[in-house]
Structure 1
Amino acid sequence: MPRQADPSSGPAAPRLRIGFLLAPRFTLSAFATFVDVLRLAADDGDGSRPIRCRWSVLSPDMAPIQSSCGVRIEPDERLGDPGQFDYIVTVGGLIEGSPGLSPEHGAFLRKAAAQKVALAGLCTGVFAMARLGLMDGYRCCVSWFHHQDFLAEFELMHPVSDQIFVVDRDRLSCSGGVSAAHLAAFLVDRHLGRAAARKSLSILMIDEPMEGDRPQPGLPLELNARDPIVRRALLAMQQNLHAPLSVARIAKDLGIGRRKLERHFSADIGVPPADASIRIRLAQAKMLLSRSERTVTRIAEETGFCDASHLIRVFRENMGTTPDLWRQEHAGQEVAQI
């Protein structure tokens, strides 16, 4: 992303300075969306001059970095003093089949943390930060899609998967996708003001800034709840796919009785909580069948079924076919219900 210094910008230093670390096979959409919010806030109109904001892609060796979609990004500068930035943002890559951050990246992030530079993780960037111990004692945001992957690797941590981004002191994290734009807008608002943040999002055709506690999208479309109680219950189900909570436990956690929770479900989405839980787990099972090579046994474990035979029975009752046959019919296709 080559940029030229603007001779008319004067001596004033940028009010927001961000360094990016891109993991091998990083998520291009999260990176590009975040940068575009900075770009549009940095200059008048869409002039793209890095006046009010400055951003650089950092690298230990200046080699091009390939994203998960194959597009390569040229670094701007070598790893140096993290103290020249207000934030170091790590953009994560694919969880499986990616080498992750280099030891040089890790040392740089630890140096930044020691210097009290704020650290942010986009998409799976928080995985890389957690592997370095940089999220110990912090809340972190993880996409619902990678919630179970995070728990499998970090058993003692409690990722937040019902918000689009989380800010906990000097650690920031977001679920990826368009949430990267809202996290970037949050930082623009903090350093440049609300008008600059709204301007950036408006030009990107995003209606308005969203707060970090905005629920992540991703529930099955037929369970698109309006009732806040029902939505919170559905999110609890989604976050506990591997060990489903009982309806009574969910109601207790929400501070209401089971019968009241069932009435809310009936009035809002027309199905009982137990049936909604099955639909959510089946939606996740179908997603895993279509997008991964996981065995039916492993998928059953990850989606809260007793074993493979239990998943096969429930799958056949609801879909009229077995998981293996469904996978053959939908190989390489996107699943439409999430």
Structure 2
Amino acid sequence: MHRLGYLLPPGFQVIALGTQAVFEFANLVAGEPFYAVDNYALGGGEVHASFGVSVQTRALTARSQADTWMVVGVVNPLAAPAAPELLRLVRKLGAQARRTVGLCTGAFLLAEAGLLAGRRATTHWAHAEAMQQRHPDIQVEPDRIYIADGPVWTSAGMTAEFDLALGLVEKDLGAETARAVAHGLVMHQRRAGGQSQHSEMLKLAPKSDRIQQALEHARRNLAGPLSVEELAEAAHLSPRQFSRVFTAETGQSPAKAVEGLRLEAARLMVEQGRHPLEVVARETGFRDRRHLREAFLRGFGTPPQAVRRGARDAAH
């Protein structure tokens, strides 16, 4: 039995409780109760969330035990300092646990407790700069979904907490179980830790279902040519009408938007380091390795080899 201890500060982000469903479904997929979950707070009792929910908790003490501590964030981590006793307990219990996790701005509490010193970490993009300024001994990476640095894991904001939870399941029970859990939760896409917090699909934000359908078609078929005619057919519009509506809704031409989607997918493949650059180029729709390099220099200001080296160095 793997014990998960959720540490809930006053005003905790209510979305964090939803991640417990990941472990619930993992138990169902595994066919046995592998995970057990308890909620804790300093002093115990009823703790109110950021929005309309209260949770009954156990009292957090030096004798509390969990294999993985899940430290939940608050909406504004800079509003009030954490209680010294809470920091002392997090420091002590985190050192004893198998893993300690900072969900979203929960990373601030880990930082204040000294558990992130000398480590890589991430948090909600809106607070990453403040974390770096307050804790210069942490290597804050604001453009990551989640980061596992040894026994300490941190996630980006909000829904990224689910991606981290799935990462924990994969670590404990394997990739097949994690995929089955994601399928059971009807997750549209399971994001890897190295993926950017900023999604090209979200940035484009089309207003109509037709343009959304065209973008979904593009995302699923990046290896193909993805001409305007093909995308227009997916949207059930004429090429001329499609180009006009697409630009009006997204602020970009179809060609520019497709290149952004290709770059996003290619960067993730490059960082994962599982395929040669020739394969990355082919799978994401670039003509060849040279074309991929040109796109990386244009989009990121650095060649794909440098991105891969950086990801490899950061992992060790």
User: Is 1:40 aligned with 2:17?
Assistant: no
Equivalent-residue separation in structure 2 for 1:34 and 1:262 (angstroms): 34
Q: Which residue of 1 aligns with 2:177?
A: 196
5+ residue gaps in structure 1?
1-13, 233-255, 274-338
How many residue pairs were aligned? 223
2:9 corresponds to which residue? Answer: 23
Gaps spanning 5+ residues in structure 2: where?
205-250, 268-289, 302-316
Match runs of 1:230-245 below 5 Å: none
SS at match of 2:261: coil
Map 1:187-266 → 2, pairs under 5 A: 187-217=168-198, 220-221=203-204, 222=251, 225-228=260-263, 264=298
Match of 1:179 among 160, 183, 190: 160
Check 1:202–1:100 CA distance in 2 against 1; reply closer, same or farther (3 A cut). farther
Q: What's the TM-score once normalised by structure 1's chain length?
A: 0.57
Deviation at 1:182, TM superposition (A): 1.3
CA contact (8 A) 2:120 2:140 kept: yes
d(CA) in 2 for partners of 1:119, 1:44: 24
> CA shift at 1:148, angstroms?
2.2
Cα distance change on mapping 1:190 and 1:96 into 2, 3 Å:
closer
- When normalised by structure 2's length, the TM-score is 0.61
Paired AA for residue 34 in structure 1: T
> How big is the shift at 1:218?
5.6
**Distance in 2, Cα, partners of 1:69 & 1:204:** 23
1:43 aligned counterpart, secondary structure: helix
CA distance 1:85–1:73, shift in 2 (3 Å): same
Name the one with the larger helix percent. 2
Greater relative CO (CA pairs within 8 A, separation 6+): 1
Tell me the amino acid that sits aligned with residue 141 of structure 2.
V
1:185–1:262 distance in 2 versus 1, CA, 3 Å: closer
Counterpart selection for 1:142 from 105, 112, 123: 123
Contact 1:117 1:170 (8 Å CA) reproduced: yes
Asked if the contact 1:64/1:73 (under 8 Å) is kept, the reply is yes
Give the % identical residues. 23
Secondary structure of 1:56 counterpart: strand
Cα distance between partner residues in 2 of 1:206 and 1:104: 38
- Say yes or no: does 1:86 pair with 2:67: yes
Which residue identity lines up with residue 119 of structure 1 in the other structure? T
Question: Are the counterparts in 2 of residues 33 and 178 from structure 1 also a CA contact under 8 Å?
Answer: no
In structure 1, distance between residues paired with 2:62 and 2:53: 25
Quote the Cα distance in structure 2 between the aligned partners of 1:81 and 1:189: 29
Q: Separation in 2 of the partners of 1:51 and 1:172?
A: 23
Q: What one-letter code is carried by the residue in structure 1 that aligns with 2:261?
A: R
